Amino acid sequence: EEKKFNGKLVIAGMKGWKSESFDKNLKKFGIHNDVVVLGFLKNEELRHFYATCEVFVFPSFYEGFGFPIIEAFNCGAAVITSNVSSCPELAGDAALTVDPNDIQQMTDSIITVLNDEKLREDLRARGLQRAEEFSFQRTAEETLRVYEEVYSGC
Is there a single domain that holds both residue 66 and residue 12?
A: no
Tell me whether residue 99 is in a domain: yes
pLDDT of residue 132: 92
pLDDT of residue 3: 63
Tell me whether residue 73 is in a domain: yes
Spell 111-140 as b/e; 16+ CB within 10 A means b: eebbeeeeebeebbebbeebbeebeeeeee
Is there a single domain that holds both residue 63 and residue 139?
A: yes
Is there a single domain that holds both residue 15 and residue 72?
A: no
Block mean pLDDT (10 aa), the chain, length 154: 76 83 91 92 95 95 89 97 95 97 95 96 98 83 84 78
pLDDT of residue 75: 97
Is there a single domain that holds both residue 58 and residue 112?
A: yes
Tell me whether residue 49 is in a domain: no
Is there a single domain that holds both residue 108 and residue 67?
A: yes
pLDDT of residue 100: 96
Tell me whether residue 47 is in a domain: no
Is there a single domain that holds both residue 33 and residue 67?
A: no
Is there a single domain that holds both residue 2 and residue 75?
A: no
pLDDT of residue 151: 86
CB-CB contact of 58 with 80 (8 Å): yes
Is there a single domain that holds both residue 73 and residue 100?
A: yes
Q: What is the CATH number of the domain that holds 58?
A: 3.40.50.2000
Is there a single domain that holds both residue 32 and residue 66?
A: no
pLDDT of residue 135: 78
Tell me whether residue 134 is in a domain: yes
Please tell me whether residue 64 adopts helix, strand or coil conformation: coil
- Residue 13's domain comprises 1-40
Is there a single domain that holds both residue 64 and residue 30?
A: no
Tell me whether residue 13 is in a domain: yes
Taking the CB of residue 90, how many other CB atoms lie within 10 A of it?
Answer: 23
Is there a single domain that holds both residue 19 and residue 92?
A: no
